[in-house]
Structure 1
Amino acid sequence: MTDSNEPTQPDLEQLDEREMAEAIGAAARIILAPGPKEAREAPAEAPAPDDTWALPGGTAWVYLADPKKGLTRPVIIGDGFSSGPSDLDFSWQIMERGPYAFISALRGRGYDVVLVGYDERSASILENAEVVRAAILEATARRTGDHPLTVGGFSMGGLVTRYALAKMEHDGGPENDHQTALYFSYDSPHRGAWIPIALQAFAHYIRSLNAAFSNQMNSPAARQLLWQHISEWRDSPETDKERGTFLAELERVGGWPSRPRKIGVANGVRIGESNGIRPGEQAFHGKGIAITGTRLYTQPAGEDELVAQLRVVTLRRPHVNTSGLPEIDGAPGGTLEGFGILADELNKVPALIGLRSEADIREHCFVPTVSAIALRDIDTHEKLYEPVTEAAAKDSELDEFRCASQNEGHTLVTEELCTWILDRLP
């Protein structure tokens, strides 16, 4: 990282940072989350569940296929990554009101849906796995009959449930009998997720004005999920020690549960086709007086490559450079509107504050295909973009997987992927 200093201008320096921070806090909520804007910002209210389980560290919302029969064929679905407590309305919006009504399809086939939420979605995966374990034990205790469970999750939820099941098998004993026949993951980052270094740097650079974005990027879950992470805007990208600890713990309990069949889907293609985002392109720029000069770029390969120029209030414009990273923003995989969310939220702040912004490119790859199907690491261009051939597919850690026919939004719930899962339920 390099820092170029320029003289400051009194009129800009005299902007009241306290007032600016209050304006941002009142109008904007810079939190990266999947889904369309209506889901992220104002999800329609979910119908009342048939039952609600209070769990240590979380909640389970239960929707029965037939309330007269009670819980008979449970499908437990773990929530994904964001900030704050899990939101039933948001989960329902994503899974039921998008391109495909997944919850209705499950119930229509006679399965009971158990949506597992956490008190804090950005807490450690290891902590939230205890919420899933409690939900599994609650389901087996309440179930009528002996139909085996299906357990899985969307995005980070696939890692939370993977670890929970593996740890239950490792610990053993009747108190850890998960009775699960099928595990599934939906665009889960088994080999790591990606948030552009430019976005992470901006999050930390504006921490004094609004800490929420930085706090999300520095949360335990983010440190465990992200392949490359920075804690401060000046830092050089690296694999955070929290991720190393999580991976070591996952390996300690066996890496994967051995009893259930393991399947997964990816919101990216298997043919190696880019999502069309080119490296080194301007993805975001400031337009208001307080942020003009801020420019964020998509990730280029090479040495000492510029990924961000940062400016908020003062005329100092430090540069953020990276070396040795692949062109990952355009890689095949599930996308996230990281740059778009940032611009949308800043544009909610009154114009007189001077933070008007524009996303030239709204999205970036968040979970590469090869990560979602647990096939390869994501540290080189070749690993990211090489097509998944039938021969290569045998190296996946999943028993079976399905990739989308086009690169699409991360955790987009489609008929193509959901019916593939439905056809494999026990």
Structure 2
Amino acid sequence: MSVVNIWGSLSPVARAAYPTPQEPDDEWTLRGGTAWVYYSPLNRRQLVKPVILADGFSLGASDLGELWAGLENNGKYRFISELHAIGRDVIVLGYDNRAASILDNADTAIECIQTANRNRVDNKAKLVVGGFSMGGMVTRYALAKMQHDQDLPDPETSLYLSYDTPHRGAWLPISMQAFAHFLKDKWGATSPIFGQFSDLINSPAARQMARWHLGKVGDKPDQASERRAFLQQLDAVGGWPQGIRKIGVANGVRTGIGNGIGPALTAVSGRGDLLLDGTLRTQAQGEQVVAILHAAEQPPIEVSTDGLPDIDGAPGGLFPENPVLPGNPASFGMAAILMGLLGSEVDLQLNTSCFIPAISAVATGEIDNRDALYSEIRDRDSELDAFACASKNEGHTTMTQDLGAWLVNEIESHS
């Protein structure tokens, strides 16, 4: 058993649920990654109007077959086929290490953009460039850097898109972060599976994206130094690509109505011979004990927070599905799985929570502002030129008919 894809790139599900992915028409080997090229049937195996779609965050190398399947065979909307139907060639971009620094993977995106520009036969048709989840941050920085750095060529891009991207930061429950580090400290030496979640949380990309990060049990949750440095780097290249239309979608609603998860609830608990007590709670405002962690023959640990919003129930994209047990999202559901592997009797009350608040995905407000989290989103507040939100709070990066068709229409109309 391997727990490797717990933050997700594009609605991860059991690979068995998808047929074998279509072989690409071309493959580009890049420094730090790989791109698969799918030519539109209208373009006779030539790169005419490329759309670059970058992968998101997880552990290890990108699985471009999984990315293709999530776009094309998701059972809701055939995104690649719809792009092909309007004459767009699709390039899916992956990385050798999805948890590496966003800055490093942006260099891979830059090489992909340069390669696309060298190979396209129509110099008048500029690129469309964007990505899913972290992929939207990778390509946002890549485009801005290309415009800012005089040693780099112009990206020759007319449209930037993001799909449930954490422009204002991502949320992972502090109780979950503490439990992950606790697992590694106590049982990481017995099996790598008990250290993977902690390692992922402490990876460069996770530190850059998480609005509140916990490096180890006992730390105070706050922005990691890597996030502060990344935001400074982003500001240094202008924050956003300039003169390029910027669009995005959120898997959360714009109405301000949350997902129904209340604050200070016991989401999951486990008790057994090794784990005497593992209690994880949803986030509340004010001072709160969010987790109780008690291993055999050691005193219990209480993990407290103060001053955070009740964000688990906020409107936004929910944690993606867990590939180990399809149907169990990788938040509190992941904790339940890991507690079970320790032989604990588990009581799972809530298996998911908000991951990318809607206001983060459409860049309208700071997610540490409780009022902004639960307020209706206004068009004029967004840093994007146009955006669309889901009709319900759904799984992070879920490709749906509404969001996919909106993007295809924008691509056809404005690029």
Structures share fold, TM-score greater than 0.5 = yes
Matched residue, 2:395? 409
Q: Please state how far the C-alpha of 1:115 moved relative to its aligned partner.
A: 0.6
Give the match for residue 96 of structure 1. Answer: 72
Q: 1:308 aligns with which of 288, 291, 300?
A: 291
Query: Which shows bigger deviation, 123-132 or 61-70?
Result: 61-70
Residue correspondence of structure 1 range 126-275 to structure 2 within 5 A = 126-146=103-123, 147-172=125-150, 175-208=152-185, 209=188, 210-275=194-259
1:356/1:54 Cα in 2 relative to 1: closer, same or farther (>3 Å)?
farther
Larger radius of gyration: 1
**Structure 1 residues without counterparts, runs of 5 or longer:** 1-26
**Contact 1:285–1:293 (CA under 8 A) maintained in structure 2:** yes
Equivalent residue runs for 1:292-331 within 5 Å? 292-303=276-287, 305-314=288-297, 316-331=299-314
TM-score under structure 2 length normalisation: 0.90
Say which of 338, 343, 360 aligns to 2:336. 343
Match of 1:387 among 359, 371, 376: 376
Which amino acid letter does the alignment assign opposite residue 396 of structure 1?
S
For 2:32, give the aligned amino acid. Answer: G
Partner of 1:76, secondary structure, is: strand
CA distance in 2, matches of 1:63, 1:287: 50
Q: Displacement, 1:30? A: 5.8
How far, CA to CA, are the matches of 1:42 and 1:30 in structure 2? 17
| 2-structure distance, mates of 1:298, 1:218 | 21
1:39-80 Cα shifts (integer Å, max 9, x gaps): 478754312111110000000011111273411110001110
Contact kept? 1:30, 1:342, Cα under 8 Å: no
Distance 2:111 2:155 in 1: 10
- CA contact 2:102–2:205 (8 Å) conserved in 1: yes
Q: Say which SS state the counterpart of residue 147 (structure 2) adopts.
A: helix
| Paired position in structure 2 for 1:33 | 7
SS of equivalent to 1:378: coil
Opposite residue 234 of structure 1, the aligned amino acid is G
Match of 1:366 in 2: 355
Which shows bigger deviation, 58-67 or 394-403? 58-67
Query: Cα gap change, 1:32/1:170 in structure 2, threshold over 3 Å: closer, same or farther?
Result: same
- Per-residue deviation at 1:345? 5.1
Aligned-pair distance for 1:278?
A: 0.3
Shift of 1:285: 1.2
CA–CA distance in structure 1, aligned partners of residues 15 and 382 of structure 2: 32
Given the alignment of the two structures, is residue 45 of structure 1 paired with residue 20 of structure 2, yes or no? yes
Structure 2: distance between partners of 1:96 and 1:342: 30
Give the SS at the match of 2:381.
coil
> Of 253, 265, 268, which aligns to 1:284?
268
1:204 partner amino acid: H
Q: Give deviations 1:313-348, integer Å, cap 9, x for gaps.
A: 44532110100000000000101031113323554x
Query: Which residue number corresponds to residue 55 of structure 2?
Result: 79
TM-score (norm 1): 0.88
Of residues 109, 120, 123, the one that matches 2:86 is 109
Whole-angstrom distance in 2 between the partners of 1:240 and 1:401: 29
Report the Cα distance in structure 2 between the residues aligned to 1:207 and 1:300, rounded to whole angstroms: 26
Alignment correspondent of 1:20: none
Kindly indicate whether the alpha-carbon contact (under 8 Å) linking 1:187 and 1:410 is maintained by their aligned counterparts in 2: yes
Equivalent residue for 2:40, pick from 65, 72, 89 = 65
Q: Percent identity?
A: 46
Q: Is the 8 A contact 1:203 1:213 kept in 2?
A: yes
Opposite residue 56 of structure 2, the aligned amino acid is G
Count of aligned pairs between the two proteins = 391
Question: In structure 2, what is the equivalent of residue 123 of structure 1?
Answer: 100
1:54 aligns with 2:29: yes
- The CA deviation string for residues 259-292 of structure 1, in whole angstroms up to 9 with x for no partner, is 2100011111111001000001111111443224
Equivalent position SS for 2:136: helix
Q: Check the 8 A contact 2:12/2:70 in 1, yes or no.
A: no
43 and 211 in structure 1: CA distance in 2 versus 1, 3 angstrom threshold: farther
With over 3 angstroms needed to count, the CA separation of the structure-2 counterparts of 1:388 and 1:93, relative to structure 1, is: same
Pair 1:49–1:288, CA change in 2 (3 A) = farther
The answer (yes or no) to whether the contact 1:339–1:361 under 8 Å persists in 2 is yes
Residue 303 of structure 2 aligns to a residue in which SS? strand
User: How much does 1:36 deviate?
Assistant: 5.7
Provide the C-alpha distance between the structure 1 equivalents of 2:347 and 2:153, rounded to a whole number of angstroms: 51
Cα separation, 1, equivalents of 2:286 and 2:69: 40
Aligned amino acid, residue 310 of structure 1: L
Superposition CA RMSD, Å: 1.8
Asked if structure 2 preserves the Cα contact closer than 8 Å seen for 1:374 and 1:397, the reply is: yes
